[in-house]
Amino acid sequence: AVDVSKLLSKTGLVTFDPGFNSTAACASEITYIDGDAGILRYRGYPIDQLAEKSSFLEVSYLLIYGELPTQAQLDSFTNRISRHTLLHEDLKRFFDGFPRDAHPMPVLSSAVSALSTFYQDSLDPFDEDAVELSTVRLLAKVFTIAAYAYKKSVGQPFLYPDNSLGLVENFLRMTFGFPAEPYDIDPDFARALDTLLILHADHEQNCSTSTVRLVGSSQANLFASISAGINALFGPLHGGANQAVLEMLQRIRDVEEGNVDAFVERVKNKEKGARLMGFGHRVYKNYDPRARIVKQSADEVLKKLGVSDPLLDIAKALEEKALADDYFVERKLYPNVDFYTGVIYRAMGFPTKMFTVLFALGRLPGWIAHWREMMNDPQNKIGRPRQLYTGPAERDYLSMEKR
Ligand code: ACO
């Protein structure tokens, strides 16, 4: 093991904080979390009130501009976004280059990165009008890109956006509809997805948001920074957990014959690094308030869609078992937002690979808000952590024959 105190004595005064457990890299006015009490607020508004009463676009406005919009402000914001939902025809051709079975997350991050080439007015991060335009373009186009990533994966034709529809309705139509065929949007379905997007919209300095800030701290533009954030979200310990949860539930059902107890024992014994995916959180040491809302929503959505899913029963049994077990109690491991979302997405008809894309759609306004806050922060500096060097001391170059 590395003797950290010895190393620190050589580097001068630096903190050694792997995983940034106790390092604040910035001050932020956007989101408040009290992990011990299970509290989450966007700009002061409790998440449960926003989930119940607000809409995803209203929450996006709140996160990005700091206040709930008036009706006129919301109308103008919605209108501006709906005028930017189209993708450039050349960008559409981008999708042809990916293999059909490509995971849609790298497809999404690549297409978002490519927006910098189509909109070169985005390159100056201090041009306020351009930042405004990039904000609106992102919010509009990422939904179209996500729907096309899905269409590509199932080999179906792309649909042009229908700007008479709301953002979420348009996304559902572009995802599940067919050209020249009417697509009936179920308002309950659209509302449930809208609520899930609200629940994911921001979560202060999580891995992907910190990535957006770190990349943006070099004054990289909004598209480049958010593309990096999407890649950070892809990992199974972060946004990729929603896909991992569903795969875990399916494995318990199909391979382990629904034996929840045996699975929990394997997790406790850390067999092959087994983890109960969708459980645990760096900040929440109590029930994740979002998970509470999602669990309720899972029951409602499945009932409305008339679906009974054994995976939901396995999830509930796993939760019950874990919450009564000392291993999880001592480590303060509770379900996080990802634990039940997959069951809902599945009932809605999304393939497992799309789950993390849906998370990205929700997190988008949070990433934008953080990037903009950072660019306007006079204390902003390029992010550049220190390290403790543990490699060899100085040694002389060895010629090839002496190695
Ligand atoms: N299942 C089993 N044990 C766990 C789990 C889990 N899901 N999470 C943490 N632990 C255990 C660890 O093994 C460790 O035990 P030890 O003290 O005996 O070594 C202890 O709890 C502390 O865990 P850490 O990994 O140090 O906690 P950290 O804060 O670094 O990790 C994380 C947080 C990554 C979320 C972790 O709980 C995890 O891997 N969860 C599963 C993946 C997941 O659901 N990710 C989504 C997070 S929320 C989001 O991004 C939306």
Residue 253 in contact with ligand 1 by CB distance below 6 A: no
Per-residue model confidence (pLDDT) at position 81: 97
Per-residue model confidence as pLDDT tens digits over 212-250: 999 999 999 999 999 999 999 999 999 988 989 999 999
Active-site amino acid positions: 281, 338
User: Candidates 333, 337, 356: which one to mutate for ligand 1, based on the most atoms within 8 Å of Cβ?
Assistant: 333
Query: How far apart, in whole angstroms, are the C-alpha atoms of residue 230 and residue 224?
Result: 10
What is the DSSP code (8-state) at residue 45?
A: E
Mutational pocket test of ligand 1: of 207, 275, 355, 367, the residue with most ligand atoms within 8 Å of the beta carbon: 275
Q: What is the pLDDT of residue 110?
A: 97
**SS3 of 281-301:** CCCCCCCCHHHHHHHHHHHHH
Residue type, 156: Q
Q: What's the CA dihedral at 292, 295, 301, 303 to 10 degrees?
A: -120
d(CA 147, CA 125): 28
**Residue of minimum CA distance from atom 49 in ligand 1:** 238
Question: pLDDT at position 258, please?
Answer: 86
Nearest atom (ligand 1) to Cα of 279: 7
Cα–Cα–Cα angle for 142, 147, 150, rounded to 5 degrees: 125
360 lines ligand 1 (CB under 6 A): no
What tokens were used for 370? 């953080």
pTM assigned to the model: 0.93
ipTM over 0.85 threshold: yes
* CA of 337, closest atom in ligand 1: 51
Give the pLDDT score at 92.
94
- Which pLDDT score is estimated for 3? 72
Q: How far apart are CA 380 and CA 218, in angstroms?
A: 10
| Rounded Cα–Cα distance for residues 106 and 102 (Å) | 8
Does 333 sit in the ligand 1 pocket, CB within 6 Å? yes
Query: Can you read off the two tokens belonging to residue 111?
Result: 């297409």
Whether 329 lines ligand 1, by a CB cut-off of 6 Å, is: no
Closest ligand 1 atom number to CA of residue 282:
29
Query: Would you say 109 and 138 are in contact if contact means Cβ atoms under 8 Å apart?
Result: no
State which residues of the chain have pLDDT below 50: none
